[in-house]
Amino acid sequence: MISTITSDETVPTSANFPQQNFTAQREVLSLEMKIETPENVVLTYQLAGPAQRYIAYMIDLAIRLAILFGAMMVINMIGIVLPGTAIGIFLVIMFLNTWGYYTISEGFFKGQSIGKHICGLRVIRDGGYPITFWPALLRNLARSADAIIFYGIGITSMLLTRRFQRLGDLVAGTVVIQERSLKLPRKPVILKKIQPLNKNDIGSFVPRDEVLSLIDEFMGRRHVLTYERGHALAGILAKSLAERLKYSGDSQKVEQYPMAFLASVYQTFSLSNHQEEDEFTVSNQSRIRNREVSLG
């Protein structure tokens, strides 16, 4: 949708847009939950919203109905010989299906029912720990309170809490997160044909690492945007970077080829870093090698 907006409209407005507002907005809309681990590292988890959980719920509902239906077929066969026992077993299965399906699946299979597994959701304790049996039982017994008026209470509670917790989650201290698949990051973009900036054209300003990796990631993903939109977005950064660098070279390059300008900025500074700290990395590498020997 964004990519269909033409550059004429967006460039002036977005270029003037104060940078700080973007970060402030991101805080408010954040779906992330932060947890500090015993290693003193802050982990972020992506919370699952009501819509995703609804889909998972529907899948689970279908599976539970299928289980009941399957049980009914088998029970009918047993029922030919022992009609009473068959009904008894069926009722016990029904009981386990209503009260035990989620408890057993979440309590013993690391917080995932089948529907949650398919949707890539997982229930964890709000300290980041895996869920155990008692919290799983608690959150799913409380389901009967959440389910009043077609989950009206649960949905209301989800919308009122910051971590999308229904009553069962609140009482058991759990959250539902969205699991991302482990994906090795791409290698940083290596720009062979791009020439670094001329040192005479720029001042003493050195862009921060964040800016360089932003450029890196932008380069890596530019194919998902249309040319115009990518051009417009790159223009914002290129303009302000050129200002900070006091770039006195080809001003046409900044205006008309902002992406190329960013690439050459990246090339200039990532390469210079590279050479300065070469000795450091070599010594570090040998240290790591030693550690590997001691490990195994």
List binders of other proteins among 73-112 (CB under 8 A): 82-92, 94-95, 98-99, 108, 110
Binding string, residues 17-46; x marks residues near other proteins by CB under 8 A: --------------------xxxxxxxxx-
CB 182 within 8 A of CB 125: no
Q: Which of 3, 30, 132, 256 is close enough to bind other proteins by CB under 8 A?
A: 132
The residue from 3, 144, 195, 290 that contacts other proteins (CB under 8 A) is: 144
Instruction: Report yes or no: 33 and 45 within 8 Å, Cβ to Cβ.
Output: yes
Main-chain phi, psi angles of 47, to 5 degrees: -75, 150
Beta bridge partners of 122: 177
Please, which of residues 200-219 interact with other proteins by CB under 8 A?
A: 208-210, 212-214, 216-217
Output 18 or 296, the one with its CB closest to other proteins. Answer: 296
- Interacting stretch for other proteins, rule CB under 8 A, among 12-20, 197-205, 225-233, 274-282? 274-282
Q: Of 129, 152, 159, 256, which one interacts with other proteins (CB under 8 A)? A: 129
Residues 43-62 that bind other proteins (CB under 8 A): 43-45
Which residue from 141, 191, 206, 260 is in contact with other proteins, where contact means CB under 8 A? Answer: 141
Binding residue (CB under 8 A) for other proteins from 17, 22, 54, 134 = 134
8 A C-beta contact, residue 197 and residue 268: yes
Distance CA 278, CA 101 (A): 58
Answer yes or no whether residue 113 interacts with other proteins by CB under 8 A.
Answer: no
Residue 143 within binding range of other proteins, rule CB under 8 A: yes
Residue in 206, 268, 213, 215 with CA at minimum distance from that of residue 237:
215
Q: Are 50 and 160 in contact (CB under 8 A)?
A: no
Q: How far is the CB of 198 from other proteins (least distance, A)?
A: 22
Per-position x/- string for 219-258, each x denoting binding to other proteins as judged by CB under 8 A, each - no binding = -x--------------------------------------
State the DSSP H helix or E strand holding residue 289, giving kind and residue range, or none if neither.
helix 278-295
Residue 51: other Cβ atoms inside 10 A: 8
Choice between 8 and 276, CB closer to other proteins: 276
Per DSSP, 100 falls in state I
Token digits for 74?
Answer: 């088998």
Q: Taking the alpha carbons of 83, 89, 91, 94 in that order, is the dihedral positive or negative?
A: negative
- For residues 138 and 278, give the distance between their C-alpha atoms in angstroms, rounded to a whole number: 56
Q: Is 296 in the site for other proteins (CB under 8 A)?
A: yes
Residue 227, both tokens: 């040319």
Residue 39's alpha-carbon distances to 42, 175, 296, in angstroms, are 9, 22, 23
Give the nearest distance from C-beta 36 to other proteins in angstroms: 11
The stretch among 11-19, 57-65, 250-258, 268-276 that binds other proteins (CB under 8 A) is 268-276
If one asks whether residue 121 binds other proteins (CB under 8 A), the answer comes out as no
Among 74, 77, 134, 68, CA closest to 95: 68
Contacting other proteins within 165-204 (CB under 8 A): 167, 170-173, 179-180, 182-188
